[in-house]
Amino acid sequence: MTTVRREAFGRMPPEEGGGEVEKFVLQSDSVRVEILSFGCIITTLETKDRDGQFSDVVLGFDTLEGYTKKHPFFGAVVGRVANRIANGRFTLDSKEYQLFLNNGPNSLHGGAKGFDKVLWSPQVLPNGVRFFRLSPDGEEGYPGDLKVWVTYTLSGRELAINYQAQTSKTTPISLTNHAYFNLAGQGSRDIYDHEISIEADSYLPVDDTKIPTGEVAAVQGTGFDLRQPVELGKHFQKFHLDGFDHNFCLHQGQDRRLVARVFHPPTGRTMEVHTTQPGIQFYTGNNLDGSLKGKGAATYPKHSAFCLETQNWPDAVNKPHFPSVLLQPGEEYNHTTWLVFNTA
């Protein structure tokens, strides 16, 4: 049985239109999640450890102000296109589009004001909440009026996130949620004692601006082979890694499949990621530097969280041999990711 509660969370600053931001609390016997109508942001996700104790396992802020200021996309839905587009440029039907450059020479997570920085219209469901917005033609440089629905539903130990979209013109689209997890509890020092596995035979090598080179490389015999669980801290040392910020190429198909699993031995918490998406960006919080004051005055140093962002492959709009990122008029974009929390 899931209960859903809505309450006021704050008001947008006047220069942002001053709209009211609501918080939606979804609760089952084993998971409690709080989501904002601003950016569809997951602000809190509490799960049990093996002793039945709840802890909040996602990074974030106590107040709306934290989320309206610059931050690394904590808990937010990012789009129109998640991840990086090289030089913020692409060509469709022989027309070139130029996006805002917000990540060195590239465009990242939708540009200057992506889906993470806007108010969505909420609708309460029996076991969750659905958010809607219309991204107008030309927003952030993207073509087409894009209608977008993001639906969170909680069932027992499983949180499902469904993304749907329809467009009036051909447009690239790739949506994901950018939650930062630490299964020891948010505010814990690092994720080195987490064990992770990712069901991927290949990954995308990147250049020094984090754009895929175009090569689809086998993980076999490299530090990117996570098909068997590895303990992160030891794995970083063994392969002299500074961390991960890479797309892992998943087995293609429209069906739900298990793509990643994280286990935290000290608490017994496990998290499984299931999805219909073709890729998953594994990011280990390499750019966190302890400068942000998070929930309960916690600081978030480097490697204090991980992200498993299910999405299309980065820069796919410029790489014809990558899975297509284009949505045509009359088609529907429809992807789901399921996060399953358990104890072992």
**What would the pLDDT profile of 215-232 be if each residue is shown by its tens digit?**
999 999 999 999 999 999
Average pLDDT over residues 128-143: 97
High-pLDDT (> 90) share of the chain, %: 97
Q: What gap in Å lies between CA 252 and CA 279, rounded to an integer?
A: 9
Model confidence over 286-338: pLDDT tens digits?
Answer: 999 999 999 999 999 999 999 999 999 999 999 999 999 999 999 999 999 99
Residue 251 in marked binding region? no
Q: Are strands 95-98 and 121-125 parallel, antiparallel or unpaired?
A: unpaired
In whole angstroms, how far apart are CA 124 and each of 26, 128, 152, 161, 175? Answer: 10, 6, 10, 14, 21
Model confidence over 21-45: pLDDT tens digits?
Answer: 999 999 999 999 999 999 999 999 9
Tokens 């499949």 label which residue? 257
Q: Catalytic site residue 251?
A: no
Marked catalytic residue, from 22, 34, 140, 309: 309
Residue 178 in marked binding region? yes
Does residue 232 sit in helix, strand or coil? helix
Confidence of residue 252 (pLDDT cuts 50, 70, 90): confident
Tokens 């280990």 label which residue? 284
161 touches 59 (CB < 8 A): no
Model confidence over 136-189: pLDDT tens digits?
Answer: 999 999 999 999 999 999 999 999 999 999 999 999 999 999 999 999 999 999
Marked catalytic residue, from 178, 235, 274, 335: 178
pLDDT, residue 17, reads 85
pLDDT, residue 336, reads 98
Which residues lie closer than 8 Å to 19 by C-beta, 6 or more apart? 11, 12, 119
pLDDT, residue 167, reads 98
Residue 312 in marked binding region? no
pLDDT, residue 307, reads 98
Locate 143 and state its tokens: 């073509």
Residue 71 in marked binding region? no
Which residues lie closer than 8 Å to 53 by C-beta, 6 or more apart? none
Which residues lie closer than 8 Å to 70 by C-beta, 6 or more apart? none
Residue 84 in marked binding region? yes
Indicate the average pLDDT of the chain. Answer: 97
The answer regarding whether domain 3-194+287-343 maps to CATH 2.70.98.10 reads yes
Q: Catalytic site residue 309?
A: yes
180 touches 74 (CB < 8 A): yes
Locate 63 and state its tokens: 């107040």
In whole angstroms, how far apart are CA 189 and each of 53, 178, 193, 309? Answer: 19, 20, 11, 22
Query: How many CB atoms lie under 10 A from the CB of residue 201?
Result: 14
pLDDT, residue 253, reads 80
Q: What gap in Å lies between CA 192 and CA 102, rounded to an integer?
A: 30
235 touches 241 (CB < 8 A): yes
Locate 240 and state its tokens: 């002299």
pLDDT, residue 285, reads 98
Residue 212 has pLDDT above 90, yes or no: yes
Q: Specify the DSSP class assigned to residue 313.
A: P
Q: What gap in Å lies between CA 257 and CA 212, rounded to an integer?
A: 24
